[in-house]
């Protein structure tokens, strides 16, 4: 399954967790956030611009320095990446 993202699709953006403390705990863990694709890199369609819908505000990620696809399982993804929403 390898869908190509297009403008207007809804994906998940992975928020950046806060740095791990010495004991390994984190004040804020990574979270999946709803995001709408605003731009798609024509040469590399896995790189997109996103409008991220955080619970308390919008966050815009233009294609310049955009978000890359990370299909690793939950917890192993890079903060700042995107993926297709998990099926539940």
Contact status: 32 vs Zn ion (CB under 5 A):
yes
Extract the tokens encoding 44: 């590399």
Contact status: 36 vs Zn ion (CB under 5 A):
no
Shortest CB 73 distance to Zn ion, Å: 10
The answer for residues whose C-beta is within 8 angstroms of residue 54's C-beta and 6 or more apart is 15, 33
Contact status: 61 vs Zn ion (CB under 5 A):
no
Shortest CB 13 distance to Zn ion, Å: 8
Q: Are 60 and 48 in contact (CB under 8 A)?
A: no
Binding site for Zn ion (CB under 5 A): 12, 32
């Amino acid at each position: 399954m390898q869908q190509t993202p297009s403008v207007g699709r809804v994906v998940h953006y992975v928020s950046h967790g806060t740095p791990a403390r010495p004991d390994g705990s984190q004040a804020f863990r990574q979270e999946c956030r709803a995001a709408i694709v605003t731009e798609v890199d024509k040469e590399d369609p896995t790189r997109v611009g996103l409008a991220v819908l955080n619970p308390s505000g919008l966050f815009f990620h233009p294609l310049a320095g955009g978000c890359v696809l990370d299909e690793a399982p939950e917890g192993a993804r890079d903060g700042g990446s995107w993926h297709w929403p998990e099926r539940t």
